[in-house]
Every structure is written in structure tokens, then in C-alpha cells.
Chain A
Amino acid sequence: MHSQYIRLTQRKLFTLTIMFYLLSGCASPAAYQEPIIKFQQASTILIESARTEYKSANRMARNALIDENSEKKADIDIAKLRDSGVISSEDLDVRLNALNALSKHGQLLLALSSSDAPEKAAEAAKSLNSSIVSLNHSIDNLRSAQPSGNIDQAAGAFSKLAALVTKDVLNNKISTALDGAINSSSKPVSALIILIEDDMRALSVKRQKVISAARVRAVDGYRESLNKGADQIKKSVSELKAAEDNWDNNLLVSPTPGLEAMRDAHSQLVDYAKSSKKPQDLSELVDAVDAFSQRVTIVAEAVKAAKAYRE
């Protein structure tokens, strides 16, 4: 009750501040601050989930190969283990660097919208700039190693946009940089999120296959244990229960709705940047960012629970 009252009061204060800026004709970067803070917080959680998923993908695939071969009593060698990966090291580098740059872009938006923007923004711009250097390097590596599909184009377009924004910041054009950072980011950010979304969907299929195979192994183990002693049956029952829990839990884990909500919230940020910045425009932005934030909380809890089961 008390916290609800505080939230309402905070919201009213925030709306009053925005109204003040708008009525006085000063559409300041501060008008973006609360939605950008929320957008940045939710994006950070989501980007971390995607990073974890990417990093664990090859480990999961390798372990699945070991399980499958041991079940078939088949031979294993280093080449087979290396080949079991679902994502090449060059592909992985581009994705991790793109996530890093996306996160730094969010930090820059936040810095640009804050009251002491010039100092904070310059620092954030430098940080974004160095992440772009790494991203461009990894894109070059990927292009020289294999056909790269759409990821290098999406990441490359995002990298160009980020470079332009950092230039405005370093020239101290804060309002231009903020509007530019949001406005021109529409296509590259959206394209990058869609690609990450596709990756997450593909990795989710891989995980589903691995967990499904473990269910079958658990059923086989239970069946075999029925001819053995009580201890063996007890052990197989507990393995079967764990496999089924893991399966149920995995059904809840999907970062895709979170990424869709991120795209919606980002598109509302762009619409707001382009709008005449009336209170109604802001309320639509606040609603989209709230929906994104709620969605990410659900995703983060499901990922946490699934990780606990797997471990």
C-alpha cells in the first residue's frame, strides 16, 4: 500500500516535471530520462540472458554429443567434439560484440538524457566507440572466415550509426546526439534485435532437443531398473523426475517475447523522438517501456529457474 502510494507520487512528480518542460516550451533531454532508465535496465537484463545463452550453446551441444555417443557406445575424438558446436567462434565474436555495443548504446542514451549530460555522455561515447572498434574487427574476421548471412550487415549498419552519434557527442551537440541516437537507430537496432531473436529461437530448438533426449534416456533407465534392486529403481525414479522437471521448466524459457517487447519499446522511443513531444506521446512511450520491463522480469525469472534445474 505504502509502496504503491510512493510509486503514484513519483509518477505524478515525473509527469509534472515533463509538463513543466513542455509547457515552458523547453523539450529537454530530461524528458526522456525515466523511460530511458527503464529501457536501459530491462535491456541490460535481456542482453545478459542472450549473452549467457550464446556462451553456453556450444557447451550444451558438446555435452549432448558425449551423452548421445555414450548411449550408442560410439567412439569420440577431438574433431567430433570440436565439430559439435552450433555456433562458430567468429559468429560468436560478432554476436557478443554486437550485444556489447547495443548495451553501450543504451548507456549512451541514458547519459545523454541526464542532467549532467556533457561529461557523462563523452565518457559513454568513448566507451561505445571502443566497443565499435571490437565489433568491426570481429565482423572483418567473420567475413574472411565464412559466408556470414545477415549478421555482419545488421551489425555493420549498427556500428556506422553508433560512430555518427559518438561524433555528435564529442562535438558537444547533446540534443542533436540524443535525437539522432534514437531516430537513426530505428532500422539498425531493430534488424539486430530480429537477428538475435532468430538466434535465440534456433538455440532454443537445440536445447529442447537435448532435454527431450534426456527424457528418453531417463525413461529407458527407469524401465531397465525395474529388473534390478530397490536402490536402482529409486535412483532411476529420481532421474526421471528431474528430467521431467527440466522439460516442464524449459517450456517457460523463451527470451523471444522479451526481445519482441524490446523492439516495441525501442520503436516507441523513436516515435517519441520524432513527435512534437506532447504528454500523450510520452505516455505511449512509458506504457511500452513498462510492458518491456515486465516482460523481461518474467523472462529473467524463468531463465534463473531453468538454470537452477540444469545445475
Chain B
Amino acid sequence: MSLSRIELIELLGGVVVELDILRSQFKLGDPVRSDLDEARSELSFYTDKMIRHHISEGSKSFIELTASLLAVNNQLRFSIRDTSKIASNLQLIVQIIGIVDEIVKLIPIAALFRSHLAK
């Protein structure tokens, strides 16, 4: 099973909100909180990129990557609210960020060109 672009955006948005709930349980300055803040920031950045740009949903890579993402997300959603599993949850979040990083590479270069110029 794979996702459409909009389903992918909604899935990522859902993970970001769960990360917010999780990070709010740790005080500012706590090393775990810093890791979660960083993960949130990366995932939010990628979600915005997906919102801003068009992507071909029919490509083989998109279908395969979103299918992998769904599988990792299914594991994460059962444990993300359990703070005792923070280490394994962080690993799953890093996996998600890695997959989304690959998905973002599928955005046509011409679409990204203008925003790279701006940087």
C-alpha cells in the first residue's frame, strides 16, 4: 500500500503533532528534548517542502518510498506516546526522516531551483 501526495503530507503532519506532544513532556535543555526538537524541525521542514511543491505520485520510487514510510509509521504510532520507549521511538523517527529525505529528492529540480537560488 502506498500514499498520494496529500496523504503523505497529512501523515507527516500527524507525526509532527505527535512529536510536539512528546517533546512537551521534556524540559527545555534536556538532551532528549533537544533531539526531539531537532527531529521536529527537520520533519516540519520536509512537510512544508511537500506542501509547496508538486511531485509525481505515480513514479515507482514514490510508490515504494511511501509504502516503506507507512510501514515505519505503523510501528511508531503504537509506541510514540510511551516515554519509556523514547530511544527506539527516536530511531523510528530518524528512519522516517531518512525516507522523507529520499522522497523530497523526487521533486523536479526546476521546482527546487528557485528556492535554492534564494538561499
- Are A87 and B10 interface neighbours, CB within 8 A? no
- State which residues 13-67 of B face A: CB under 8 Å: 13, 16-17, 20, 23-24, 27-28, 41, 44, 47-48, 51-52, 54
Shortest C-beta distance, A212 to chain B (Å), equals 4
Interface size class of A (residues with CB under 8 A): 20 to 34
Is there a chain B Cβ closer than 8 Å to A209's Cβ?
yes
Q: A205-B9, A208-B13, A209-B47 are in contact. Are A88 and B27 (CB under 8 A)?
A: no
- For the A-B complex, the count of residue pairs with Cβ-Cβ distances under 8 Å equals 66
Q: How far is the CA of A167 from the CA of B55 in the complex (A)?
A: 37
Complexed CA–CA distance, A148 and B111 (Å):
9
Q: Which residues of A contact B71 (CB under 8 A)?
A: none
Residues of A within 8 A of B111 (CB): 146-147
Check A206–B20 contact: CB distance below 8 A: no
Q: How far is the CB of A225 from chain B (nearest CB, A)?
A: 13
Q: Give the distance to chain A from B28, nearest Cβ to Cβ, in Å.
A: 6
Is chain A's interface secondary structure helix, strand, loop, or mixed overall?
helix
Q: Which residue of chain A lies nearest to B116 when distances are taken between CB atoms in the complex? A: A83
Interface flag for B106 (CB, 8 Å): no
Interface string of A135-150 (1 = CB under 8 A from B): 0000000000011111
- Give B contacts to A, CB under 8 Å: 5-6, 9-10, 12-13, 16-17, 20, 23-24, 27-28, 41, 44, 47-48, 51-52, 54, 108, 110-111, 114-115, 118-119
The 5 A-B pairs of least Cβ separation, nearest first, read: A149-B54, A205-B13, A212-B20, A219-B24, A202-B51
